Amino acid sequence: MGIIEIFAKAEHLIRPLLSKLPPELFCAIYSSGRKKFLKSLTQNIPKKPIELPLTLRIKLWDISFASPLFNAAGMFKDGIGYKLAANQGAGAFLAGTTTSRKRPGNYKKGIWHPFLPYPKSQSASNWLGLPNPGHSEVAKILSQIPKRKHCPIGASLSISPDEEERVALNELIHGLMQYEKANVDFIELNESCPNVAHNHSISQTLDQNFIKRLEYVSQNFLAKRKRNLPVIIKLSNDFDISLLDELIDIAITLNFDGINFGNTSTDYSYIKGLISYGELNKFEYFISTFGGGISGKPLKNKSLTLCSKACEILKNKNLRKEFNIIRTGGIDSYDDIIESKNIGVLLNQWFTAYFLYFAKYGHKLYLKFFVNK
């Protein structure tokens, strides 16, 4: 067992005690420690690849995935960590989310990239603000990675939230082209980040600016792809389920390849009912101070419900090509993978539970997730 695995296991044991600290101090400690831990983690790679059963392999869009599970966007923002993920047995590796220009991320109350875990609730809040080195830098890193078979590389990117729309759209297309040139295997178009200012919302009716962005991407990138490169739209777990039919029609018509439900949630009133009583003071502190999005177990039913309805709608569509639904949010057990498969979802992403499993099992986390469940 390596040093980083020992540290993660020890931290997991003392986290309930640390959570008794005042919310401001607990948040400051974890916001700083999280960044240092992630940097150390990507440098601590299993010497030998951990092999998962061949029966877990799946093929979507003619791309082979080692398993139905891999990291969600936000874990490896700078594109570093592929060998770690591949050697751990991840189904794929997803870099980003990136924007056209380098972003420092959010800062408030003396804290960079505020983050706060809720151990008993198996959840966490974050207000990161898309910190990343930019499309160009991450595309360059990804282009130099020697890929391992059955561990494809994905890139998550977003329109720059602080740019004028016309400029931001042009830069988004340039970013898509950079990732295509970098030979990534699939792309996620992130339309769901709750931690930056947006000039649109998707509720009651599909926002026209959102539709225009999808049309622009379709005309200026999807129609010009030079190879098999699936582009998936990533949306929030708070997406209005009544708009799913309209959304799916638009995504199919514009030649996208799938939808991912979804990102963190800002439905605070709903989430509050799923937070442990002893952690409510920290939850209230974070959302009143920073806002931000919530991840982890409280999103389990939201992601399952949205994905289930989306798959049901797809059954009645006349598809010209493959179109898949990805599930993200609350994935923390093999039962979730089975539930996803039963409704027609074959790919899943995790974030919060990844770190819980790493604390328990170290680099064998994927093997333990699927084999010793």
Q: Any idea what the CATH number is for the domain that residue 216 is in?
A: 3.20.20.70
Percentages helix, strand, coil for the chain (3-state, rounded to 5) are: 45, 20, 35
Task: Residue 98: name the closest of 126, 60, 124, 128 by CA.
Answer: 128
Instruction: Indicate the pLDDT class of residue 13, thresholds 50, 70 and 90.
Output: confident
Can you tell me the distance from the alpha carbon of 344 to that of 163, in angstroms, rounded to the nearest whole number?
38
Residue 213 has pLDDT above 60, yes or no: yes
Q: Is residue 121 classed exposed, middle or buried when 0-12, 13-18 and 19+ CB atoms within 10 A define those classes?
A: buried
Task: Please give the pLDDT value at position 20.
Answer: 86
Total domains, the chain: 1
- Output b/e per residue, 247-270; b: 16+ Cβ within 10 A: bbebbbebbbbbbbbbbbbbbbeb
Assigned token pair, 307: 């994905």
Whole-model pTM over 0.85:
yes
Residues 233 and 354: their CA atoms lie apart, in Å, by 23
Range of the domain at 233: 3-370
Least confident of 4-13, 198-207, 291-300: 198-207
Each residue of 122-179: pLDDT tens digit? Answer: 999 999 999 999 999 999 999 999 999 999 999 999 999 888 989 999 999 999 999 9
